Amino acid sequence: MAKSKLRKTFLEPLGKNNPVFVQILGICSTLAVTNKLQNTMVMVLGVMFTTALSSWTISLLRNHIPSRIRMMVETMVIATFVIIVDIVLKAFYPEMWKQLGPYVGLIITNCIIMGRIEAFALQNKPFLSLVDGLASGLGYAYVLLAIAFFRELLGTGSLWGYQILGSWWTNWSIMIMPPGGFFVLAIFIWVIRETIMKEEKA
Amino acid sequence: MIKQATFYKKRIYPLLFMFLVTVICILITSGLFLSTQERATANELSFTRRAILDAGGLEYTPTTEGIEKTYKEKVQVEDGGSYYTAETAEGKRYILPMQGPGLWGTIAIMVGLEEDLTTFSGLAIVSQNETPGLGGRIEEPWFTQQFQGKKSPFTLVNEGTADAPNEVDAITGATRTSEYFRNLTNRASTDAKRIIRGE
């Protein structure tokens, strides 16, 4: 019984309850950081770390938080974890921090984190909340990485900064600009809903 | 008695709770900040010094110690940090920190000039906020290195076609950033003459 709940908690955010293509959460960062795989990777790692640990922390405190100030407490906890990510990047990976500094701060505004705390961590035990946070982060991560893969490849002809396509390739500049994010995300959601999710319904 | 209990529960407890959470969060973050501050400042300093060395066209080993060593040996700070000089085998170099508008925010660079204050010995980006993948490509080595040995003022030509000593490649898809960057680098020579020689 307990095991099946754990399994469900872990698998749902990856598939039929995915934060990005089912709940349509976290779209702002999906559009902003997916034009290069490297940026996307740092962003998703930051989000996974923050969602997992803030869900866990809030779940630990859930019986003590007065419900009328719970949002303030949640924001405080999320902000603390994001600042930790920022400080660690700045001290130990200065090159990466130089490129991604502004994006890291954006993690605070990611609706998935607060969404999972409100919807899950406040009602569930710490370990289960940690798993839920981590799985939501993973569900977010693979969608973003898939989008970034196509945007970087089509937009610059390279992947992870390495040139893949030869000089015959004409870069689709629009792919790495904000509109490109809308196109790829929309196509992604459409494909998923038309194929995999349709089968599930039937 | 009951009234007092609800007063505590509704007013005092939330306040105390929030206060406690805030104190704990601040302790954690400021503790972490203070314990890594030295490292962060050192990184920042090393980054600026590396930009100075790159702009001056100086050879160095790309480690923190290597940058430190070459910087201490070769570079002098002049006029309280408004510019730097370096002696090289090919003559004296003047290195000038500059900044100007870009498409989205300020672009800060280090410009290295030879003794005539017109020929570039190199150039390095200190900070920029241009569109990643388009204007952001000003950070790529092919772009910054092309300024080496060129004479300002520059004119922009299509990417990959620069030939004459005053031509530089623009970035395809980032015309505005390229133009802002040209304006910034074209100011370098006059700025340098004003600051260094008082002209």
Predicted ipTM of the assembly: 0.79
Residue B21 has pLDDT above 90, yes or no: yes
What pLDDT is stored for residue A126 in this prediction?
A: 94
Domain boundaries of chain B, sorted by first residue: 77-197
What pLDDT is stored for residue A131 in this prediction?
A: 94
Average pLDDT along chain A: 86
* Residue B127 three-state SS: strand
Number of domains, chain A: 1
Domain contains A188? yes
The pLDDT-based confidence of A52 (bands split at 50, 70, 90) is very high
What pLDDT is stored for residue B91 in this prediction?
A: 84
- Phi-psi region at A24: left, alpha or beta (left = phi > 0; alpha = psi -120 to 50): left
What pLDDT is stored for residue A202 in this prediction?
A: 55
What pLDDT is stored for residue A9 in this prediction?
A: 85
Residues of chain B with pLDDT > 70, as a percent, come to 98
What pLDDT is stored for residue A26 in this prediction?
A: 81
Residues 147-186 of B with CB under 8 A from A: 172-173
Residues in chain A within 8 Å Cβ distance of B17:
64-66, 69, 73
**E strand or H helix at B55:** helix B13-56
Domain contains A2? no
* Residue B118 three-state SS: coil
Tokens of B105: 């925010």
Average pLDDT along chain B: 88
Residues in chain B within 8 Å Cβ distance of A102:
129
Domain contains A14? no
Query: Which domain range does residue A128 map to?
Result: 20-201
**E strand or H helix at B22:** helix B13-56
Best of B12, B15, B32, B49 to disrupt the A interface by mutation (most A CBs within 10 Å)? B32
How many CB atoms within 10 Å of residue B85? 16
Domain contains A135? yes
* Tens digit of each residue's pLDDT (9 = 90 or more) over A150-194: 999 998 888 887 888 877 888 787 888 788 889 999 999 999 888
* Tens digit of each residue's pLDDT (9 = 90 or more) over A103-157: 788 788 888 999 999 999 999 999 999 999 999 999 999 999 999 999 999 988 8
The pLDDT-based confidence of B16 (bands split at 50, 70, 90) is very high
Query: How close is the nearest chain A Cα to the Cα of B41, in Å?
Result: 8
